[in-house]
C-alpha cells in the first residue's frame, strides 16, 4: 500500500509540472502573437506615412528653391503649392518671417487622421545681403 501512495504522489507532481509547462507555452505563444501583430501593423502604416512626410518636405524645398516662398505672396505660394501637390494629398503651409509677416496657404488640418508635418527655413536676399529670415511649416495628409 505504501508503494501505491508513493505512486499517487508522483502522479500529482507530474500533473502539476505538466500543467505549469502548458501554461508557460500558452503565455509564450500569446506574447509572440501580440508582438507579431504589432510588427505587421507598424510595417503596414510606416511606409505611406514616411512617403507623405517626404512629399511635404519636397514641396517645401521646391517652393524655396524656385523662390516662391521669398515672394511672400499668398496667391503665388498657394498656386505653386497646388502645382506641385499630388492628387491624393492635401496640405497646409504657414510661412512666417522675422519681421512678423505670417501667411497661410492650403486647407485646414483634419482632426481625425494621420497628419505629417515639418519645417523648412529660408532666407530672403536683397542682392548680396540677407534681408529677412523665415520658415515654412507644413502639414500634409491623405485625402
Instruction: Read off the pTM.
Output: 0.66
| Predicted local distance difference test score (pLDDT) of residue 111 | 87
C-alpha cell at 34: 501580440
Query: What is the DSSP-derived secondary structure letter of residue 72?
Result: -
CA 32, CA 27: separation in Å to the nearest integer? 9
| Predicted local distance difference test score (pLDDT) of residue 105 | 93
Backbone angles phi, psi at 31, to 5 degrees: -65, -45
Q: Which runs of E-coded beta strand occur in the chain?
A: 89-97, 102-106, 116-126, 129-142
| Predicted local distance difference test score (pLDDT) of residue 141 | 93
| Predicted local distance difference test score (pLDDT) of residue 117 | 93
Q: What proportions of the chain, in percent to the nearest 5, are helix, strand and coil?
A: 55, 25, 15
| Predicted local distance difference test score (pLDDT) of residue 3 | 60
| Predicted local distance difference test score (pLDDT) of residue 21 | 87
Nearest alpha-carbon partner for 105 in 51, 60, 52: 60
CA 120, CA 39: separation in Å to the nearest integer? 32
| Predicted local distance difference test score (pLDDT) of residue 44 | 61
Which regions in the chain score pLDDT beneath 50?
none
Residue 48's alpha-carbon distances to 11, 45, 106, in angstroms, are 57, 6, 21
| Predicted local distance difference test score (pLDDT) of residue 7 | 56
The whole-angstrom distance between residue 91's C-alpha and the CA centroid of its chain comes to: 15
| Predicted local distance difference test score (pLDDT) of residue 54 | 92
CA 54, CA 3: separation in Å to the nearest integer? 76
Amino acid at each position: 500500500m505504501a508503494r501505491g501512495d508513493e505512486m499517487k504522489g508522483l502522479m500529482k507532481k507530474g500533473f502539476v509540472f505538466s500543467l505549469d509547462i502548458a501554461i508557460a507555452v500558452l503565455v509564450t505563444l500569446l506574447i509572440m502573437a501580440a508582438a507579431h501583430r504589432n510588427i505587421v501593423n507598424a510595417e503596414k502604416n510606416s511606409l505611406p506615412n514616411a512617403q507623405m512626410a517626404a512629399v511635404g518636405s519636397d514641396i517645401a524645398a521646391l517652393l524655396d528653391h524656385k523662390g516662391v516662398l521669398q515672394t511672400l505672396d499668398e496667391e503665388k505660394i498657394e498656386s505653386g503649392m497646388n502645382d506641385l501637390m499630388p492628387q491624393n494629398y492635401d496640405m497646409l503651409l504657414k510661412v512666417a518671417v522675422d519681421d512678423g509677416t505670417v501667411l497661410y496657404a492650403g486647407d485646414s488640418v483634419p482632426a481625425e487622421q494621420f497628419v505629417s508635418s515639418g519645417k523648412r527655413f529660408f532666407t530672403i536676399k536683397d542682392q548680396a545681403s540677407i534681408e529677412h529670415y523665415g520658415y515654412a511649416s507644413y502639414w500634409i495628409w491623405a485625402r
